[in-house]
Amino acid sequence: MLKIEPGGEGVVVIAGRLDAAQCPAAQAFLEHVKGAVTLDCRGLEYVSSAGLGVLLKTQKRLTASGGKLRLVGVSHHLQDIFRYSGFDQIFEIEPAG
Amino acid sequence: MTADRLFRRSFDSLDEIFAFTADFFALHRIDPELLPTVDLTLEELFTNMVKYSPAGEPNIRIEMAAAEGGVEVTLTDYDVERFDVTQAPDANIDLPIEERRPGGLGLHLIRRLVDTLQYEYSNESRRSRITFRKTRS
Chain A residues with beta carbon closer than 8 angstroms to that of B94: 86, 89
CATH number of B2-135: 3.30.565.10
Look at residue A97 and tell me whether its pLDDT is greater than 90: no
Averaged pLDDT in 10-residue chunks for chain B of 137 residues: 96 96 97 96 96 92 97 97 94 93 91 97 96 95
List, in order, residues 6 or more apart from B111 with CB less than 8 Å away.
B86, B90, B117
- Give the residue, A45 or B137, on which the prediction is more confident: A45
Helices (H) and strands (E) in chain A, counts: 3, 5
> Cα(first)–Cα(last) distance of chain A, in Å?
24
Q: What is the mean pLDDT of residues A44-62?
A: 96
B98 contacts A20? CB cut-off 8 A = no
Across the interface, of A19, A63, A86, the residue whose CB is closest to B94 is: A86
For residue A77, the chain B residue with the least C-alpha distance is B36
List the one residue out of A36, A52, A39 whose CA is nearest residue A12: A39
- pLDDT score at B56: 87
Across the interface, of B36, B93, B97, the residue whose CB is closest to A85 is: B93
With residue A85 as reference, give the H or E element that holds it: none
Segments making up each domain of chain B, as ranges: 2-135
Q: What is the CATH number of the domain that holds A67?
A: 3.30.750.24
Across the interface, of B40, B98, B102, the residue whose CB is closest to A48 is: B40
User: How many structural domains comprise chain A?
Assistant: 1
ipTM score for this prediction: 0.89
- One DSSP character per residue, chain B reads -EEEEEEESSGGGHHHHHHHHHHHHHHTT--GGGHHHHHHHHHHHHHHHHHH-TTS-SEEEEEEEEETTEEEEEEEEES-----TTSSPPP-TTS-GGG--S-S-HHHHHHHHSSEEEEEEETTTTEEEEEEEEE--
Beta bridge partners of B61: B6, B76
Secondary structure class of A52 (helix, strand, coil): helix
Cα–Cα distance measured from residue A30 to residue A5, given in angstroms and rounded to the nearest whole number? 10
Distance from CA of B121 to the nearest CA of A (A): 25
Q: Where residue A23 falls among pLDDT bands split at 50, 70, 90?
A: very high
Instruction: Please give the share of chain A, as a percent, with pLDDT higher than 90.
Output: 96
Across the interface, of A59, A85, A90, the residue whose CB is closest to B109 is: A85
Query: Longest C-alpha distance within chain B, in Å?
Result: 48
Mean predicted lDDT score pLDDT of chain A:
96
In A19-86, beta strands by DSSP E: 36-47, 68-74
Cα–Cα distance measured from residue B129 to residue B76, given in angstroms and rounded to the nearest whole number? 5
Which range of residues forms the domain containing residue A91?
Answer: 2-95
List the one residue out of B17, B135, B104, B40 whose CA is nearest residue A81: B40
B100 contacts A48? CB cut-off 8 A = no
Distance from CA of B99 to the nearest CA of A (A): 10
Distance from CA of A53 to the nearest CA of B (A): 4
- pTM exceeding 0.90: yes
Distance from CA of B127 to the nearest CA of A (A): 25
- pLDDT score at B137: 79
